[in-house]
Structure 1
Amino acid sequence: MLSLQEISDRFEIQDLMVRYSHAVDTRQWDLLDDVFTADAHIDYSAMGGSTGDLASTKKFLADVMPNFPAFQHMVGNSEVTLDGDTATGRTMCHNPMVMPGEDGQQSLMLCGLWYLDTFVRVDGKWRIKSRVEEKGYMYIAPATPGMG
Structure 2
Amino acid sequence: MLTSAAVSDRIEIADLFSRFARLLDEKRWDEADTVFTHDVTGHSPRSGEIRGIDALVAFMRQAEVEGEHTQHVTTDLLVDVDGDEAVATANSLVYFFRDGRAPHVSSGLRLACTAVRTPAGWRLRESRTVLVWMREK
| Change beyond 3 A, Cα 1:82–1:106 | closer
Residue 72 of structure 1 aligns with an amino acid whose one-letter code is Q
CA contact (8 A) 1:87 1:118 kept: yes
| Change beyond 3 A, Cα 1:107–1:120 | closer
Name 1:128's counterpart in structure 2. Answer: 124
Name 1:81's counterpart in structure 2. Answer: 80
Structure 1 residues 8-87: aligned runs within 5 Å: 8-45=8-45, 48-53=46-51, 54-67=53-66, 69-87=68-86
Residue 122 of structure 1 aligns with an amino acid whose one-letter code is T
1:17 Cα deviation after fit? 0.7
**TM-score, scaled relative to structure 1:** 0.83
**TM-score, scaled relative to structure 2:** 0.89
- What 5-or-longer segments of structure 1 have no aligned partner? 100-104, 142-148
Residue 51 of structure 1 aligns with an amino acid whose one-letter code is E
Name 1:111's counterpart in structure 2. Answer: 107
Aligned-residue Cα RMSD (Å) equals 2.0
1:13 Cα deviation after fit? 0.2
| Change beyond 3 A, Cα 1:94–1:82 | same
1:106 Cα deviation after fit? 8.2
1:124 Cα deviation after fit? 5.5
Larger Rg: 1
- What 5-or-longer segments of structure 2 have no aligned partner? none
Q: If each structure's strand is expressed as a fraction of its own residues, which one has the higher value?
A: 2
1:34 Cα deviation after fit? 1.3
Structure 2 CA distance for aligned equivalents of residues 70 and 106 of structure 1:
11
1:108 Cα deviation after fit? 1.1
